[in-house]
Structures are given as structure tokens and as C-alpha cells.
A = this chain, B = another copy of it.
Amino acid sequence: MADKRLGYKVHRRILDETAVEEIAEKSEMTLSLSEKVKKSVRCSGPQLKRHLLDRLPVLSWLPHYSIKENLIGDLISGVSVGIMHLPQGMAYALLASVPPVFGLYSSLYPPLIYFIFGTSKHISIGTFAVMSVMIGGVTERLAPDSNFMIWDNVTNGSIVDAVSRDTERVRVATAVTFMTGLFQIMLGVLQFGFVVTYLSEPLVRGYTTGASIHVIVSQLKYTFGINPVRYSGPLSLIYTVVDLCYLLPQTNIGTLVVSIVVIICMVLAKELNTFLSKKIPVPLPMELLAVAIGTVISWQVNLEDKYGVAVVGNIPSGLLPPTFPPASLFGQVIGDAFALAVVGYGIAISLGRILAIKYGYQVDSNQELIALGLSNSVGSMFQCFSVSSSMSRTMVQVNTGGNTQIAAAVSSVIILCIVLWIGYLFESLPKAVLSAIIYVNLQGMLKQLVDIPVLWKKNKVDAVIWVSTFILTLLLNPDIGLAASIAFSMLTVIIRTQLPKYSLLGQVHGSDIYKPLEDFHQVKPVPGIVIFRSSATLYFANAEMYQDALKIKSGIDVAMILSTKKKLEEKIKKLEEQNVRNQQQEPDEDIAAIQVESEPAPTLPRAVILDLSPVNFLDTMGVKTLSNIHKGYASVGIDVFLTGCQTVVVENLQTGGFFDEKVTKSCLFSTIHDAVLHSQSSSEPNEDITWTQF
């Protein structure tokens, strides 16, 4: 530390707040509310243009699109992502309990809308496992199998009318998707993009891990080929698992074999891809291969008829005309839609931000809300269900050279071709293959479980947030679980301010630095001065504790001192009266005896310094507490000084009525050392030292 030889050299007057304000010329708040409003609504030509570009980001980047630099990368990336969209779209449609083709629609329209309004260059908009399982919860709640039972003359039993059930489920899915989009647009227009800050990283990771368990459990029926009862509401996960265990003996062996084979192949293929990733630019489309091979085998062996393996079934070719979602259902899905809006936005924006930081550009959180909202609400008119961005597709889009949303547009064209011409080829694909694809895609989220020990070492509170989010999501389902988790993570903030560390500070020998006595061996208390600090803001939830801690740490119990004093005075008074009555000669001796015999008065410090530098704001309880402390100590002749108050804290003290004729700003000091010196100098006023500055 040779370069620090310049030394820290200060020689100035001791400055209290009044003096600082005088010297530094404190400015008055001049901007009135009306001026602030005027300032914010001011509008001009260039601002209007800027506003338009902000709302339609495509206008600002597409004209500058460099075909030479980006087109090849975008094309390769778009085709790769398009190929992934096919199996994922169908698989996630299963999760959402709608026919597979609607997953393809959801992979087709929303990326095109996001292309126009989105600000991220890299995220792949489309189906997303967690949201799909949430939609599945809604569709199966509002259109359960039991509502669509018809009499079957062949088997002489009641069976499900799958066609009208699926039609109703698509109606429910589009209704909830439309509302999701509406919420997102509203939040975006109202500039509520900041709400995403409530979704801290431990929360999002715990949540996605919990939600992926829901996804897995909801897919087990396809893997084993069984039909458990659908539960909803809190604890439904546990009921479903119990039900699954009961039904295990009814497992369809053919389906289970298909599942196991596909899962093993997919895991191996994934390892191979990781191994090859440095040698080939584009990953092997293993999901597409699984789908293709699965379809061919299923078709050739006729798995459906021979072994009772459930297959995807009818995939209509062509597109459906746009229709407005059924408004009558809006009221029933409003809660789910809000949860979907928050989750979808949270996932998309966190992925978008990570990539924006990596590639050095900006994503606008409010515009992202609007872009996602339009993708959802417009998409819902084309029978899409709620979308967000998928981690796995986004990674492929980036790694295969995608540089702009042109890649997303290309992927939509690929899906369009599939829907129009070759979709029907996949009709014999076993559903178990799609489940296997879902499992393998969830690997990443399940691996997040190793977060827990890492996080525990880093920050215990964050580890607790992770685990409780995970558990709440498991038990209360992804919708209510999210709300409960956010509430819990906020409560941790309150609790942390309720468990502050209260310390007495001492001086680092020979310096103006003050540190907690218990943390350092060579920090010594300043004789006759108590310096106290709480590590947290002072407000209603810890105001009482602050006062108690100060009393315990400093050992000064004002009430006790006052009552001892009062008793002593009473005794003396009584003795004096007795003396007068008894006409004794030496009354003073007795009084002196009492004064000696009563507990010796503790040697009181001359000053108490409260370091308020960690205080973020003061509410009325905080101001009152400080006032009480000030008055209490003043009554036994101890000075109280406050140090390190931020501007806002000084203002809070002022409006809260802390200052009066007796208590002025001269009890406020910028640094602890100023207060210490002030206290020492005021008790030895005659020491004469010349100072040059000030």
C-alpha cells in the first residue's frame, strides 16, 4: 500500500448540521407538484417520434438490418428453432389439455407479433412448460371430462365426448390467454414493468423448479398410460401422486416401454449434443428425430391398436379463421390470467435481460409487457394459448447464430409449412414420446435443486426464500403459490429489519473511524461517550426494540435513575421533617448517611451519540422514539447527538416535529468524529488550538 502515502489529512472546524447547511448553502425545494406534472407531460416533435419508435421497435432496427452480416445466421437459427417448435408445441399442448395442433398455432402467431413490438433481439417467444401446465389447470377445471359424458352404444357404457370437450377447452384456453394479454398490456401502459423486481432470482428459480415438478406429475399419466382423477386447488399435487400410485398396477406396458426407450435415447442424444457442441455449429434436432422415428414406428407397428398406446390423433391441416375469445368466460379466469401474465412476463424479461447484458443492448421492461400482451391477446384470436419465452429454444436460437427477431419470423414460416402441409403425418405419434420430450426439457429446471446448498453458503435468507417458494409452489399450485411466495419474500425484508444488529461503537485507535466494539479487538470505547448504532432502518416495526437495545447496551435506565432520585429526595425530605420535629442537632449527617447508603449512582456518560447512517427513512414512530430518547437523557443531563443523517432523514425529523426551541439542528453531525469532538470540547471549553481552515 505504498501508494497510499499521501495520507488522510483534515483540519477544519467541527461542523454540526446547521454549520454544514450554512457553508454548503442548502437549496430549497423549488419544484412544485404542478411544475413536476408539467415537466412530465411536456411534448414536442422529436419526442413524439421517439415515443413512436419506443412503441414500435421494429421501425428502429429493421431499416438498419444488415443482410450481409445477419441474414445467414438468422436463417440457420430460424430453421433450427422452427424444428424445435414442432415437438415442443405439440407436447406443451398436451400440458395445456388442448389438441396438439393448437400448440403449433401458439408457436406460429405470437413470434410474428413479438417481431414487431418486442425489444429483445434473442428470446424465442412461444409455448412454455410452466405456463402450459397452468393453462391445463384452468381448462380441466372449467371443462372437466365429467361435463362431456355421452352414452356409447358399442360398449354400453358412458364415454367422454372428446370432440366437444376439446372444443370447449380451446375456448377456455383462448379466453384465459386473451385476459393474460390484456393484463400485460395494461401493466405495460401503466408503466408497471418494475413489478418484475419482486421476482428475485432465488424466487424465480425456486418457482420454476416447483412448477416443473407439477409439469412432470401432470405428464406421468401419459408415460404410464393410466387415467387418474384430475384434482384442483391446494394440495392437488399430493392427491394426484397418491392417485397415481393406486393406479400403477393398471399401467399400459406398451406405453411404458415406449416412454422408457424414448427417455433413454433423448438423454443419450442430449449428452451427444453437449459433446458435439464444439465441433458442429447446429445441434442435432434430437426432438424432431424422436418425433419422426416415434411416428414411423408407431405407424408401422400400429402401436395404438395392438398395444393400446395413446397417440396424438387428428391433426387438421390449414389455419382457422380468427374469432373473438368467449367473453362469457372472462370472469371465471381472471385470477389465473393475472398469475399467467406475471409468470409469463417474469420469465421472458429475465431471459431477455440476461441476453441484453451479454450482447450489450437494452430491453425496455414496459415495452416488453406490451409486446407480450399483444402476442397473447392477438394470438388468442387465432386460437393460441398463453406464451412466454422458452429457455431451451432461446439458447438454440442464440447459439446457432440468431442475431435478430428475423430468426423468429423464419421459425414461424417453418411452422406454417408444417401446419399447412405435413401436420397430418404426425397423427400416429404416441403421446408418451411427447411426455418424454417434456421430461428431458425440464432437466435444466430440476438441476436448479443444486442451488440450495450453494445459496445456503452465500446467503441464508435467499436460500430460505428459494426453498419456501419451491414448497409453496408444490403445495399451492403455480398460481396461488406464486402470490404466496412473493408475499413471503417481502416478509423476509420486514423480518430482516426486525432482527438488526445493535452495536456500541468505539474508535479505531488514533483515527476518526468508529467500528463496532464486538467486531474488533483494538477498537476502544471513547471515555464518557456512548456511541450506538442499529444496522437497520428505524421505523414502526423495530422502534421499541431500538429503545430497549439502547438501554441494555448502554446500561443507562433513565426511568430507574429518575425513580431512585425521587425516592432519595423523598427520604431526605422526610428526614428533614423528622429532624424539624425532633429538634436534632446534626440533621445533615443523617441525610448524608442516606445518600451514601442508597445504591451508588452509576457514573453516567456525558453524551450519547446515535449513528443514523443506516437509516433509510423515518416514520412518525421513528421520530417519536428519537424524541423520547432525547428527552429521557436530557432529563438526567446527558447530551444526545445524531450523526450520519441523510437529507431525507433530516427532512423527516423536521416535518415529524423533532426540533423545537431546545432541540435544534446543532445536535446533528455529519460524522461520528465531529460529534465526539464536539462533546469533548464542550466539556473542556478552554483548550486552545488554532486552526487554519474555517
- Residues of chain A touching chain B, judged by Cβ–Cβ distance below 8 Å, are 1, 3-16, 19-21, 23-27, 194, 197-198, 200-203, 357, 360-362, 455, 457-459, 461-462, 489-491, 493-494, 496-498, 500-501, 503, 508-513, 515-516, 518-523, 535-537, 539-545, 559-560, 562-563, 613-621, 623-624, 628, 644, 646-648, 652, 655-657, 666, 670-671, 673-674, 677-678, 680-682, 685, 687-689, 691, 693-694
Q: Contact between A19 and B1 (Cβ–Cβ < 8 Å)?
A: yes
Tell which of B494, B540, B652 touches A201, judged by Cβ atoms closer than 8 Å: B540
Q: How many Å from the CB of A454 to the closest CB on chain B?
A: 9
Task: Say whether, besides A360-B563, A508-B23, A680 and B6 are in contact (CB < 8 Å).
Answer: yes
| 21 A-B residue pairings within 8 Å (CB atoms) | A3-B685, A4-B19, A8-B13, A9-B11, A11-B11, A15-B511, A20-B515, A27-B519, A27-B521, A197-B541, A203-B540, A455-B620, A457-B655, A458-B655, A462-B620, A490-B491, A490-B541, A493-B494, A496-B616, A535-B617, A535-B646
Q: Are B462 and A493 in contact (CB under 8 A)?
A: no
Closest Cβ of chain B: how far from A678's Cβ, in Å?
A: 6
Q: Assess the A8–B14 pair: CB atoms within 8 A.
A: yes
Known contacts A535-B616, A620-B458, A693-B510: does B3 contact A682 (CB below 8 Å)?
A: yes
Return the contact of A522 from the options B24, B494, B671 (Cβ within 8 A): B24
> With A25-B520, A511-B12 in contact, do A7 and B614 touch (Cβ < 8 Å)?
no
Question: Cα distance A545–B197 when bound, in Å?
Answer: 9
> What separation, in Å, do the CA atoms of A689 and B357 have in the docked complex?
44
A12 and B510 contacting across the interface, CB-CB below 8 Å: yes
The answer to whether residues A10 and B536 also contact, given A4-B678, A459-B619, A689-B5 and a CB cut-off of 8 A, is no
Chain B residues, CB < 8 A from A1: 13, 16, 19, 666
Find chain B residues with CB under 8 A from A523 CB. 24
Whether A9 lies near B493 (C-beta < 8 A) is no
Across the interface, do A647 and B519 meet the contact criterion of CB distance under 8 Å?
A: yes
Q: Which of the residues B457, B619, B646 comes within 8 Å of A462, measured between beta carbons?
A: B619
Q: A13-B7, A360-B563, A540-B489 are in contact. Are A509 and B23 (CB under 8 A)?
A: yes
- How far is B5's CA from A685's CA once the two chains are assembled, in angstroms? 9
Known: A9-B10, A24-B520, A500-B616. 19 other contacts (CB 8 A): A1-B16, A4-B13, A5-B13, A5-B688, A6-B677, A6-B680, A7-B689, A8-B674, A10-B10, A24-B509, A26-B519, A197-B541, A360-B562, A360-B563, A458-B620, A459-B619, A462-B620, A535-B616, A613-B613
Q: A200-B621, A562-B360 are in contact. Are A657 and B458 (CB under 8 A)?
A: yes
Chain A at the B interface: mostly helix, strand, loop or mixed? mixed
Which chain B residues border A670 with CB–CB below 8 Å?
513, 515
A616 to B493, CA, bound (A): 10
| Whole-angstrom distance between the Cβ of A115 and the nearest chain B Cβ | 23
Given contacts A6-B677, A541-B197, A656-B458, contact A26 B497 (CB under 8 A): no
Contacts of A21 in B (CB 8 A): 520
**CA of A562 to CA of B360, assembled, Å:** 8
Instruction: Tell me whether B27 and A197 are in contact (CB under 8 A).
Output: no
Contacts of A15 in B (CB 8 A): 8, 508, 511, 513
Q: CB within 8 A of A20: which of B500, B508, B510, B687?
A: B508
Q: Contact at A5–B691, with CB atoms within 8 Å?
A: yes
Contacts of A489 in B (CB 8 A): 540
- Return the contact of A10 from the options B8, B455, B688 (Cβ within 8 A): B8
Contact between chains at A14 and B25 (CB < 8 Å): no
Alpha-carbon separation in the docked complex, A473 to B97 (Å) = 42
Also in contact, A198 and B541, with CB within 8 A (given A513-B670, A620-B462): yes
Closest residue of chain B to A524 (Cβ to Cβ) is B24
Q: Chain B CB within 10 Å — which of A4, A508, A522 has the most?
A: A4
Partner of A498 from B197, B357, B518, B678 at Cβ < 8 Å? B197
- With both beta carbons as reference points, the residue of chain B lying nearest to A628 in the complex is identified as B357
Select from chain B the residue with minimum beta-carbon distance to A684. Answer: B6
Closest 7 CB pairs of A and B: A200-B540, A6-B681, A7-B691, A25-B521, A24-B520, A360-B559, A4-B14
B residues within 8 A CB of A24?
A: 508-509, 515, 520-523
Q: A14-B4, A498-B197, A682-B3 are in contact. Are A614 and B646 (CB under 8 A)?
A: yes
A616 engages B545 (CB within 8 Å): no
Interchain CA distance A19-B197 in the complex, whole Å: 36
Contact B194 A498 (CB under 8 A): yes
B671 near A513: Cβ-Cβ < 8 Å: yes
A8/B3 in contact, CB under 8 A: no
Among A24, A501, A685, A687, the one with the most B-chain Cβ atoms within 10 Å of its Cβ is A24
Contact in complex: B8, A677 (CB < 8 Å): yes
> How many Å lie between the Cα of A355 and that of B434 in the bound state?
71
| Chain B residues positioned under 8 Å from A518 (CB to CB) | 27
Q: How far is the CA of A241 from the CA of B306 in the complex (A)?
A: 71
- Assembly CA distance A8 to B670 (angstroms): 12
Q: In the bound complex, do residue A620 and residue B14 qualify as a contact, i.e. CB atoms below 8 Å apart?
A: no
Looking across the interface, which residue of chain B has its beta carbon closest to that of A515?
Answer: B24
* Bound form: Cα–Cα A297–B182 in Å: 67
Instruction: Tell me the complex Cα distance, A361–B673, Å.
Output: 35
Which residue of B is nearest A4, CB measured?
A: B14
B8 pairs with A522, CB closer than 8 A = no
The CA of A362 and the CA of B6, in the complex, are separated in Å by 54
Closest chain B CB from A631 CB (angstroms)? 10
Please tell me which one of the listed residues B457, B522, B657 contacts residue A25 in the complex, with CB atoms under 8 A apart: B522
Given A197-B498, A360-B559, A508-B23: A620 touches B7 (CB 8 Å cut-off): no
Q: Which residues of the other chain, B, contact A27 by a CB distance below 8 angstroms?
A: 518-521
A503 vs B624: C-alpha distance in the bound complex, in angstroms? 27
By the criterion CB–CB under 8 Å, are A615 and B614 in contact?
yes
Bound CA–CA A497/B494 (angstroms): 11
- What is the distance, in angstroms, from A634's C-beta to the closest C-beta of chain B? 15
